[in-house]
Amino acid sequence: MPPRRGARRHADGDMVNCEQVQEQLSAYHDGMLDAATADVVRAHLATCPRCPTILADYERLDHILAQAPRVAPGPELRARIFSSPEFREIVRSQQPGAVTKTPSVPVAVSPRARLGPQAARVWLPVILLIVLLGGTTAVISKILASHATGPAYATCPTLSGGQRLAYRYGGTLYSDVAPLVCDAKAQVGLWQVSPDGRWVAYLNNRTHTLRLVRADATLDHQVTLSAGTVQALVWSPDSQRVFIAQADVGNAGGVTLSTVDTIVHQPQRVAALNAATLGSENDSSTEAVTLAGQPAISPDGQFLAVALKGVSGAYAVAFFATQAPTGALPAHIANVPSGFPIDALGWTFGNQPILTWMAGITRGNAGFGNIPHVADFPNHKVIVFGILGDVVAAALNPSSGQWAVAGANGTVTAIDAATGAQTPLAQLSGVTAFIPSPDSAQWLVTSRQALWLLDATGLTKITDKLGAPTPAWSSTSRIAFVADGKVQIVQVQSGKVTTQAADASGVGTVAGLAWSPNGGALAIWGSAGVATVAPAGQQQSFAPHLASDAPQWTA
C-alpha cells in the first residue's frame, strides 16, 4: 500500500506523515522532545512544504502573546473555577486509582483536527477552562485578531492551497479569479510574492502602509511605514523577511532600507544610503541619491546589494550585511566611471556567492566587476574587469556564474564572474537578449525575429517568426514564446525540439508569459484577460481581468 500523502521515510525505515509530525510541533517548538524524536521532526520539516508554515504560526503566536497586555482576574474567578463540578472531576481523576470520567461538556472536534490520547489528556483541562472563561477568551480573541488583521480591513474568504496565479487589477490583488485583497478602500501599489510562494507583500498607496498577507488570504498584517516613497520590495531567500527601499526625506535626497519579518511585523532600519556612498569625489550634502534598479539579495540572505545613482551622473555599487545594527551605513565598494549607468546587478549561487555587476551597456560599452569573497566583509576585495567595446547585449546566469555577452561584430562570449576569464561561445549577429536555462546548461538567444537555443553543441534555431513578449523557460526544460501571434510551447529533451500550440483563447494580444516554479502551468496575460495552461497546451483557467503588471505565482 502506498504511503499517505505527506509521508516521509527516515533512516530508521518508519513512515512519518504530516499528521503525526504536527502533533509534535508544539513540543518541538518548546524544545521538549527527546533527541531522537526531535531529529525525526527536524528531518520532516526539511522536506515538507506544509509543516514549516504551522511551526512559523507557533512562533508568531508566541510573540503576540508575549506582547499582549496582562489582565489580572478578579477574586470571583478563582471561586468559580475551584468550586466548579468540572474542576472537582479533574482533581478526582488525578488521584491514584481514580477512573477518569468524561465531563458532560459538548466539544465538537473536526475529524482532521482530532486529538490523540496523549494530547487529549493535556488539553482536556484547558478546554474546560475555556468553557468557564468564555468572556476572557473573547478578549484574547480580540487581541489576536488585532494583530492578525489591520484596522478597518475586510478579510477575504480563505483560498485553497496549491499553486495559484496572483495579479493586480483595478487597484486590488487577485488569486486566479478570487480576490486576495477584499478591502474596497485599498489601492495596491508595489507588490511581491515571497520565494516560497506563501506570502504576498503589497503597499496600500492610500494609507502608506505595507501589508503582509498569506497566499491563501489569511493572516493579514498591517505595517505602518515611515515617510518617503517606497521604491522597491525584496524578499529574503527564506521568505521570512521583506526589505523595503524608501526615499529618505531627512537624508538630503538619500535612500533608506528597512526590513519587516513575517512574525514581528515591525520595520527595522538596517541601512542609510547618502551622498557619501557615491565616493569622496562626489561627497556633497546636496547630491541626491536614488536607486538604479532593483536591489539584489545574496542567495544565503546575508547581504543586500544596491546600485546607486546621483544627479551629477555618478554611479556606485554598495552592499551591507542584512543583520547590521540599526542605522549602520553600508560599505562603499566600487565607483563606476561617470557616464556608465549600472545596467545589471546580481549574485551567483554556490557556497560563496559572488556579487557581480555590469555597467555602461546602454552607452555601447560594458564594464564588469565583482566581489569574489563577500563574506570577508569589511575586508572585501573588489575586481573590475575593465571595459569591453561595442557590447549590444549581456546577461548573468547565476547558476553557472557566467555572463553571456554579445558584441556588435556578432561574437558571443562567456565571461566568468569570478575571474573575468573569457570563452568564445558562438558567432551570431543582431543579438538582443540572453535567457539562461534553470539548470544553467543552455541559453535562449533572441536575434531580431529569431529564437535560438545555445548550448555546448552550438546554436539551434527554434523559430524565425518570434514576436513579443520575452520567451519564458520552465524548470522542466520547456520554452514558451509567441510566434505569428500564437503562443507556442517547445519541449527540449535529449537534443530534440518538439513544438506544440498553447490555447491562449480570450487573452487577446499577449503581453507576458511566466511558468509556475514547478513547471506545472504557464501563465499567459494580455489585452483581454489572464489565462493558465498546462504544459501540453490545454487551457486550465481564464479571468477576464487586465493585469496591471506581470502576474506572479503563489503556492
pLDDT tens-digit profile of 152-173?
A: 456 788 888 788 999 999 889 9
The 10 Å Cβ neighbour count of residue 280 is 8
d(CA 484, CA 467): 7
Residue 1, pLDDT above cutoff 60: no
Spatial distance between the Cα atoms of 123 and 119, rounded to a whole number of angstroms: 6
DSSP string for residues in 318-349: EEEETTPPTTPPPEEEEEEPTT--EEEEEE--
User: What share of the chain in percent tops pLDDT 90?
Assistant: 30
* pLDDT at position 294 over 60: yes
CA distances from 290 to 203, 205, 229, 308, 378 (A): 20, 20, 11, 6, 24
* Distance (Å, whole) CA 344 – CA 360: 10
**Residue 159: predicted pLDDT:** 87
Distance CA 549, CA 554 (A): 16
- Which among 275, 272, 265 has a CA at the least distance from the CA of 248? 272
pLDDT tens, 298-344?
A: 998 888 888 888 777 777 787 877 765 554 555 556 666 656 788 88
- Dihedral in degrees, nearest 10, Cα atoms 437, 442, 445, 451: -90
Q: pLDDT, tens digit, for every residue of 334-371? A: 666 656 788 888 999 877 888 888 887 766 667 777 77
Q: pLDDT grade, residue 149 (50/70/90)?
A: very low
Count of alpha carbons within 13 angstroms of residue 126, beta-carbon side = 6
Checking if the pLDDT of 189 tops 50, the result is yes
68-77, 438-447, 507-516 — most confident range:
507-516
Whether residue 278 has pLDDT greater than 70: no
Nine-digit cell string for 77 = 474567578
More confident residue, 278 or 461: 461
pLDDT of res. 64 = 63
Chain-centre distance of CA 90, in angstroms? Answer: 48
Asked if the model's pLDDT at residue 111 lies above 80, the reply is: no
pTM of the model: 0.71
CB-side neighbour CA atoms (13 Å) of 90? 17
CB atoms within 10 A of CB 351: 7
Looking at per-residue pLDDT, the higher value among 469 and 383 belongs to 469
pLDDT of residue 152: 44
